[in-house]
Amino acid sequence: MHNSPRFTINRHLIILMPKQPVLDWIKRVDPNPPNLTLDQLRLEQNAFLISDDLDGQQDAEKWVQRRWQMF
């Protein structure tokens, strides 16, 4: 067991799950579209640690909506 100090980081975790429009977009813009299903696309999600000053799911959804273009 390590004797080094442990630190706590208080953050919320947001995981972005692609929906059907993302898969449709990939197939539309890729010159050689992959034979990909939505379930396969969802195997690798993006996760983001965000500030802990949000108050519940509605605040988290607003946070994503304000920054959706970045994602």
Contact call for residues 14 and 48 (beta carbons, < 8 A):
yes
Over residues 13-64, the pLDDT tens digits come to 888 889 999 999 999 999 887 898 999 999 988 888 887 777 777 887 888 8
The predicted model scores a pTM of 0.60
pLDDT of residue 42: 92
19-45 residues labelled b (16+ CB within 10 A) or e (exposed): eeeebeeeeeeeeeeeeeeeeebeeee
Domain-wise residue ranges, the chain: 12-69
